[in-house]
Structure 1
């Protein structure tokens, strides 16, 4: 990316990771700490977050990742303990809301956590990175943000928004020292996939979870985290731990109507087997 000074992930790097009580976020924090980075972790689940932070030797800031006050608190904690933030991992996500039955509150929550949390964090950090001439923003989106999420309109739409915002951020600030990566995996062995979708979404949630687990291998969070950090070191924008995602995206772009018909067939199969 022309003009971007790549920010390392190792010794001395100051990083903030949201959604870090477990799953991909905890794995990212673990990999960063092992590489010598100094890390602030955040999550809404204070009890699990505290346990993760104590295990890793990280600083914990509990709260809603989409809240400007909590984002300010994360940055302040990093600056107080370590120094200016070099890397921000906007990793917190939510999968609530299935089909047209999702109400406005569920839509707003999905948009806040899956998209606006990224916007607000970038608004807080990017101007300072431009002044310093370096900084790196990592957006955890989803393959759903490139393709779609059968069963959940709120997840699909908000993750499309996250991908779009990450692209815009990279285009707009790449020549000013700001690096951006966007993580778009399919199935990862997290609480959201194991129980979050099915418990919150009923039949729609079961279909949504099955659409992920039957589409390809379910990866371990640490395997995904290691790929993310390698991509950041190399300044790669689109991170697709599941290699099939790029082929699925190519098919979608080549013939959108054919792709939609294929997804309709896939949805029918999932409903018939659920």
Structure 2
């Protein structure tokens, strides 16, 4: 078992005063069989109302009224995570896997993606096939921080040949949709170890039907491997937009500057 100690600080600063801010926060780890929250706290100004979104993510609606020129949100705590065998998630969830066969603007399959998908994956793919798809995506889209925007689509990243973890996840989802494999986007945190990849991370869950297992497996596309105890799951969705840790709108404010800091420390513990 691994204990992940996490601190995630998000700061929006504005050149002019705002009169109203509303943010949807998906900053609370999902209660899942293989990950257990030991302690967790969200700190912010304004008022937070908890709710569960359409995909079962524990979320908060943050509203701030009155004049302000900064929004600071801190989420921190500790999570105990049990290793996953071959990325297999121990629970299937309440929704039908078919919920995650629907494309979005970020995961829409262009002709280029359709051709790429048919070269690298087919209906009925097993776990090893899906890891090979992740490897093909990493070869086609090199990891390059700052090369894309949160509005960039899977097709944008494939044409550019560069992207970050969310682009890898979007392209993987698009390829799965082409051949009818259910797959969903996962946002969360990772102990980066010796890599230079950010602690805030995105990966995918994919539905497989194998002789000894039928259900969701979790794959880190960026590292072309199964996700396991080094990962803390915050939210699932159809793409970044439906699983983003922080999204919102404001009234006023002029120009915006965003600063995000994420620290993850890992400790191996007993079972």
TM-score by length of structure 2 reads 0.26
**TM-score, structure 1 length as denominator?**
0.26
Higher helix share: 1
Instruction: Give the strand-richer structure, 1 or 2.
Output: 2
